[in-house]
């Protein structure tokens, strides 16, 4: 089993929205998260500590998901 993270951590800084702009902010990937073996939490590693904005934890995109996850999705 690979030791790849299941989630990425992003810093999101709100952007000034202009008319017709549906962007919600600037997203910068700053880390990753791995689930605990008991499934009740995550270990999070970040490469920077943001001074503003917010942190968002999102699942990795499917194209980067581990092979076991892709096989499970394909069989459903």
User: For residue range 37-74, what is the model confidence (pLDDT) as tens digits?
Assistant: 999 999 999 999 999 889 999 999 887 655 555 454 44
Q: Is residue 2 part of a domain?
A: no
58 or 17: which leads in pLDDT:
58
Q: Is residue 65 part of a domain?
A: yes
Q: Domain of residue 24: give its range.
A: 7-75
Whether the per-residue pLDDT at 9 is higher than 60: the answer is yes
* Number of domains, the chain: 1
Percent of the chain beyond pLDDT 70? 70
Q: Is residue 38 part of a domain?
A: yes
Cα angle 70, 27, 56 (rounded to 5 degrees) comes to 65
The pTM score is: 0.69
DSSP 62: G
Q: Is residue 30 part of a domain?
A: yes
pLDDT at residue 67 in the model: 57
Q: Is residue 1 part of a domain?
A: no
pLDDT at residue 62 in the model: 80
Cβ(7)–Cβ(29) below 8 Å: no
């Amino acid at each position: 089993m690979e030791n790849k993270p299941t989630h990425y951590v992003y810093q999101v800084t709100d952007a000034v929205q202009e008319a017709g702009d549906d962007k919600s902010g600037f997203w910068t990937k700053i880390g990753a998260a791995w689930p605990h073996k008991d499934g009740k939490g995550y270990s999070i590693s970040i490469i920077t500590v943001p001074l503003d904005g917010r942190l968002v934890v999102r699942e990795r995109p499917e194209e980067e998901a581990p092979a076991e996850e892709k096989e499970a999705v394909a069989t459903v």
